[in-house]
Amino acid sequence: MAVTVGASRLGLDVVRRLPAEARPLIRPGTVRAGVVHLGLGAFHRAHQAVYTEQAIGLAGGDWGIVGVAPRNATLVETLAAQDNLFSVSTLSADDRRTRVVGSLAGVRLAAADPQAVVALLADPAIRVVTLTVTEKAYQLDPAAGTLRPDADLVADLTTDRPPVTVPGLLVRGLLARAAADAGPIALVSCDNLPANGRRLRGLVTQCMAYADTPGQVVDWVGTQVGFPGTMVDRIVPASTPETLAAARHALGVEDLAAVAAEPYTQWVIEDDFPGGRPAWDRAGAVLCADAGPWERLKLRALNGVHSATAYLGALAGRETIADALAMPHLGDVLRRMIAEDVAASFAPPDGVDVVAYGEQVLERFGNPAIRHRTLQVAMDGSQKLPQRVLHTIADLRAAGRSARWAALVVAAWIRFSQGSADDGSALPLDDPLAEVIRAALAAAPQTPAGAVDAILGLDEVVPPEVAADEQVRADLVAWLTDLHRHGVLPTLSNAV
């Protein structure tokens, strides 16, 4: 074990000095790039980058990843200073393993050099583009699927200035690729959205129409570009100073791009890669024809339950998901939500028992070594709740069933959006629709029913059949009244 704590920095020159079990699986810096990844956050580093490294290690291939951060200059500088190396610590209650990952072949900052990203997308060596850019980057109406471009995307699609948005970069990159006839490629959404492959195809197609893209380019995209859907899963909180200190302890050198994650990891991918792909299946990913049932399972039974835990926990002053889950009766409430609402709302993948899957999810959320902040999961509720909870409600109600437990999640989100916790302390509303939500709540009567009607009236968030459902409205008003009158803990104990 190296002992030069704090003295040196992770990089190619120190790889030989790392503890044997912490060294990369492949020789870093020797694999040529075949993948571009957009969105260099903690999740990508602990998920796709790890699968890709294992795939290259087991099956070879020029599948190094060029990691593109849209805006995070510090991260790009940090990784560049470390020769694109970073470590992943896998944490459970009684075990901690740290290993350096060697699959990043380069890093780029899109905001500083968008043309370099466009050029990469047009490079014949690049045959796969993966994306983790969060829900809000897909500028589509969640219900209608029509384009809802912000001013930046409009400018990307209608002027010659270098693109600044992710869809703008993709469309400009595909134009350049078609012009260069650089060969087929797959664009792979790894974001937590239903039918994410179809959604990305819809986004690209509608952006091309908006930009008056020439017919031959549209035809080229139609035949040369794959949009496989995927379900990705691993709990990877934002890194903290403790994450970096633990990595330094394990590695004996500083790693300022270290991430920590749970042991569990899953990736289900539709096999639609016209230009080939890394042997991700050799690394444990499941390749299939339709990832849809897996996406629904994960969005409803994991992410929906995560959001429930986050809003209720934040209101009750709990800092992490594991702390929140330890609140009396929350586990019972979530179990009933999973068994009575989530499991009844959709057909799971063959052979999967939703209740057993939910038990495993609760066990994962309880991992005490993963300090996942409730406020992190609570972010961007307007972008997350449709696929995590509102679709569950819509499907249950269409089948004539109660959606009472799922309604509790929405009520907790409304209470969270009102901006204060049970003890009166302020809660931040970090959401692209924060202004719209605040204005709607401020204009409504200051009663639970007023707040519920204000939120049900947000047609960019709530599906029309849910907004018009009197039973759903009554459930929401009842939950929100309880949350206001008694707070989270009594509401939970009265509920079960």
Q: Taking the complex as a whole, how short is the minimal distance between the CB of residue 305 and ligand CS2, in angstroms?
A: 9
The string of DSSP letters for 14-44 reads: GGGGS-GGGS-SS-TT-SPEEEEEE--SHHH
- For residue 127, which phi and psi values (nearest 5 degrees)? -125, -5
Q: What distances in angstroms separate CA 306 from CA 197, 290, 321, one per listed residue? A: 23, 24, 8
> Residue with CB nearest ligand CS2?
306
Nearest residue (CB) to ligand CS2, 224 versus 392:
392
Q: What gap in Å lies between CA 84 and CA 402, rounded to an integer?
A: 51
Q: Taking the complex as a whole, how short is the minimal distance between the CB of residue 428 and ligand CS2, in angstroms?
A: 15
Q: Which residues pair with 420 in a beta bridge?
A: 426
Residue 273 near residue 127 (C-beta atoms within 8 A): yes
Q: Taking the complex as a whole, how short is the minimal distance between the CB of residue 266 and ligand CS2, in angstroms?
A: 8
Nearest residue (CB) to ligand CS2, 236 versus 441:
236
- The label of the residue with tokens 């916790």 reads 421
Q: Taking the complex as a whole, how short is the minimal distance between the CB of residue 262 and ligand CS2, in angstroms?
A: 9
Q: Taking the complex as a whole, how short is the minimal distance between the CB of residue 488 and ligand CS2, in angstroms?
A: 19
Q: What gap in Å lies between CA 252 and CA 458, rounded to an integer?
A: 52
Residues that bind ligand CS2 (CB under 6 A): 192, 233-235, 303, 306, 376-377, 384
Q: Taking the complex as a whole, how short is the minimal distance between the CB of residue 235 and ligand CS2, in angstroms?
A: 5
Residue 173 near residue 217 (C-beta atoms within 8 A): no
Q: What distances in angstroms separate CA 410 from CA 35, 96, 396, one per listed residue? A: 38, 36, 15
Q: Taking the complex as a whole, how short is the minimal distance between the CB of residue 384 and ligand CS2, in angstroms?
A: 6
User: Which tokens in the block code for residue 248?
Assistant: 């330094």
Nearest residue (CB) to ligand CS2, 74 versus 376:
376
Q: Taking the complex as a whole, how short is the minimal distance between the CB of residue 265 and ligand CS2, in angstroms?
A: 9
Amino acid identity, position 428: P
Q: Taking the complex as a whole, how short is the minimal distance between the CB of residue 298 and ligand CS2, in angstroms?
A: 7
Nearest residue (CB) to ligand CS2, 191 versus 475:
191
Nearest residue to 267 via CA among 229, 218, 315: 229
User: Which strands form 185-189's sheet, in the order they lie side by side?
Assistant: 104-109, 64-69, 33-38, 128-131, 185-189, 225-226
Nearest residue (CB) to ligand CS2, 216 versus 376:
376
Nearest residue (CB) to ligand CS2, 98 versus 303:
303
Three-class SS of residue 327? Answer: coil
Q: Taking the complex as a whole, how short is the minimal distance between the CB of residue 303 and ligand CS2, in angstroms?
A: 4
Query: Other CB atoms closer than 10 Å to residue 355's CB: what's the count?
Result: 12
Nearest residue (CB) to ligand CS2, 211 versus 410:
410
Nearest residue (CB) to ligand CS2, 206 versus 374:
374
Nearest residue (CB) to ligand CS2, 139 versus 367:
367
Nearest residue (CB) to ligand CS2, 52 versus 303:
303
229 CB-near residues (< 8 Å, 6+ apart): 189, 195, 196, 197, 198, 269, 270, 290, 291, 292, 295
The string of DSSP letters for 479-496 reads: HHHHHHHH-HHHHHHHH-
Q: What count of residues does the chain have?
A: 496
Q: Taking the complex as a whole, how short is the minimal distance between the CB of residue 236 and ligand CS2, in angstroms?
A: 7
Q: What gap in Å lies between CA 13 and CA 2, rounded to an integer?
A: 14
Nearest residue (CB) to ligand CS2, 233 versus 254:
233
Amino acid identity, position 212: D
312 CB-near residues (< 8 Å, 6+ apart): 324, 327, 330, 412, 488, 492
